[in-house]
Structure 1
Amino acid sequence: MGTLKTVRHRRAAAALLLPVLIGTAGCGAGEKAPAGDAVYGQPLAEQFQAATDATREAGTAAFVSTLTYGAAGGDAVQRARGSQDYERGTARADLGLDAPRTFPEGTLELLRGAAPEGKQVLATADDDVYVRSGSSAWLRYTPEAVSKFGEAAGEVAGHAAGDAAPYSGTLADLVPRAIPREAPERRADGSRVYRVDLLPEVAAELLPRHLRGPGDAWGTESVGLTVKLDADGRLASAAADLAPVLAALHDQGTLVEVKRLRAAYELTAFGEPVKRPFDDDEPVEDAAEVLAPVATLKAGRCAATGGTGLGTEEIVRPVGCADRHDLRVLGQVKVDRAFDGNRDVGSGDRYGREECGRADAAAPKDWRRGGRYADGFSMQGESEVSVSVSMDGEPGSGTETTVTGSYTCYLTTS
Structure 2
Amino acid sequence: MRRTDRGRGLAVVAVLPLLITAVACESGGADGAKSDKGAGHPVYGEKLGRQLVSAREVTEKSGSARFTYTLTYTTKSGTVRDVTTGAQDYGKKTADATRTLTLPGGLPAKTGEQLGARPGKGPEAFEVTGSDVAYRTRSGAWLRYAASGSKEFVDRAGVVLSRAGDEVPYGGTLADTIAHAATPVKQPVVGSDGSRVYATTASARSAAEALPADIGFLVPMGKDEPAPVPLTIKLDAEGRITEGTADYAPVLTALHKAGALREVTALKAVYRLTDHGKAVPRRTAGASAEDAEKVLTDLHAVPPGACASDDTGLGSQALVRVGDCTGRSDLRVFGHVKVDKTSRDELTMEDGETAARDLCRAKFATVPAAWVAKARPKNSFLVTGDSALEMAYSPGGDNRVSGEFTCYVSTTG
Tell me the SS of whatever aligns to 2:70: strand
Tell me the residue number matched to 1:403: 401
CA distance in 1, matches of 2:303, 2:40: 61
Contact 1:149–1:293 at 8 Å: present in 2 too?
no
User: Which residue type is aligned with residue 399 of structure 2?
Assistant: T
After superposition, the C-alpha distances for 1:225-248 in whole angstroms (9 at most, x for unaligned) are 000111111111000010001111
Tell me the residue number matched to 2:410: 412
Q: Specify which of 74, 77, 92 is matched with residue 73 of structure 1.
A: 77
Distance 1:344 1:100, change over 3 A: closer
Q: CA deviation at 1:41?
A: 2.2
Q: CA deviation at 1:101?
A: 2.5
Tell me the SS of whatever aligns to 1:202: helix
1:47-62 aligned within 5 A: 47-62=51-66
Greater helix proportion: 1
Tell me the residue number matched to 2:374: 372
Q: CA deviation at 1:79?
A: 0.6
**Would you say 1:173 and 2:173 are equivalent positions?**
no
Q: CA deviation at 1:114?
A: 8.5
Q: CA deviation at 1:354?
A: 2.2
Tell me the residue number matched to 1:262: 268
Distance 1:36 1:227, change over 3 A: farther
Q: CA deviation at 1:97?
A: 0.7
Contact 2:308–2:330 at 8 Å: present in 1 too?
yes
Contact 2:306–2:325 at 8 Å: present in 1 too?
yes
Tell me the residue number matched to 1:118: 122
Contact 1:95–1:115 at 8 Å: present in 2 too?
no
Q: CA deviation at 1:201?
A: 2.3
Distance 1:343 1:52, change over 3 A: closer
Contact 1:197–1:225 at 8 Å: present in 2 too?
yes
After superposition, the C-alpha distances for 1:101-143 in whole angstroms (9 at most, x for unaligned) are 3544542233125898213211111001111134421111111
Distance 1:95 1:376, change over 3 A: closer
Tell me the residue number matched to 2:247: 241
Tell me the SS of whatever aligns to 2:169: coil
Distance 1:7 1:182, change over 3 A: closer
Q: Specify which of 182, 190, 197 is matched with residue 194 of structure 2.
A: 190
Q: Specify which of 306, 311, 317 is matched with residue 313 of structure 1.
A: 317
After superposition, the C-alpha distances for 1:362-386 in whole angstroms (9 at most, x for unaligned) are 5345545xx3344243210131333
Q: CA deviation at 1:200?
A: 1.8
Higher relative contact order at CA 8 Å, sep ≥6: structure 1 or structure 2? 2
After superposition, the C-alpha distances for 1:15-41 in whole angstroms (9 at most, x for unaligned) are xxxxxxxxxxxxxxxxxx979812222
Q: CA deviation at 1:78?
A: 0.4
Contact 1:298–1:329 at 8 Å: present in 2 too?
yes
**Would you say 1:277 and 2:279 are equivalent positions?**
no
CA distance in 2, matches of 1:220, 1:365: 50
Identity, in percent, stands at 37
User: Which residue type is aligned with residue 174 of structure 1?
Assistant: T
TM-score, normalisation: structure 2: 0.83
Tell me the SS of whatever aligns to 1:37: coil
Q: Specify which of 310, 324, 329 is matched with residue 325 of structure 1.
A: 329
Structure 1: give runs of 5+ residues left out of the alignment.
10-32, 391-396
**Would you say 1:301 and 2:306 are equivalent positions?**
yes
Q: CA deviation at 1:80?
A: 0.6
1:85-96 aligned within 5 A: 85-96=89-100
Structure 2: give runs of 5+ residues left out of the alignment.
3-17, 22-36
* Cα-Cα RMSD: 2.9
Tell me the SS of whatever aligns to 1:348: helix
Contact 1:58–1:270 at 8 Å: present in 2 too?
yes
Q: CA deviation at 1:188?
A: 1.7
